[in-house]
Amino acid sequence: MNTINNPDNSAINQWPAPAKLNLFLHITGRLDNGYHSLETVFQFLNYGDTLTIDVNTSGAVTLSPEIVGLAQQDNLIYRAAMLLKPYAATTAGATIELTKILPMGAGLGGGSSDAATTLVALNQLWQCQLSNDQLAQLGLSLGADVPIFIRGFAAFAQGIGEKLTPVFPPESWYLVIWPGVGVCTKEIFSAPELTRDTDPISISQINYSLLTNDCEKVTKKRYPEVAKALEWLIQYAPAKMTGTGSCVFGEFSSQQAATVALEKLPKSMLGFVAKGLNKSPLASKLCQSTLSV
Contact, 46 vs 18, CB < 8 A?
yes
Q: Maximum distance among all alpha carbons in the chain? A: 56
Closest C-alpha among 82, 170, 81, 78 to residue 119: 81
> What are the helix (H) ranges across the chain?
76-84, 110-125, 132-140, 146-151, 185-190, 216-222, 224-233, 255-262, 281-292
Whole-number Å distance between alpha carbons of 7 and 171: 21
Whole-number Å distance between alpha carbons of 141 and 136: 9
Q: Which residues are catalytic?
A: 20, 145
Residue-by-residue DSSP string for 228-242: HHHHHHTTTS-EEE-
Contact, 67 vs 75, CB < 8 A?
yes
Contact, 83 vs 143, CB < 8 A?
no
Amino acid occupying residue 132 = N
Contact, 44 vs 20, CB < 8 A?
yes
Counting Cα atoms < 13 Å in the Cβ hemisphere of 161 gives 25
The DSSP 8-state label assigned to residue 199 in this structure reads P
Cα–Cα–Cα angle for 24, 25, 29, rounded to 5 degrees: 155
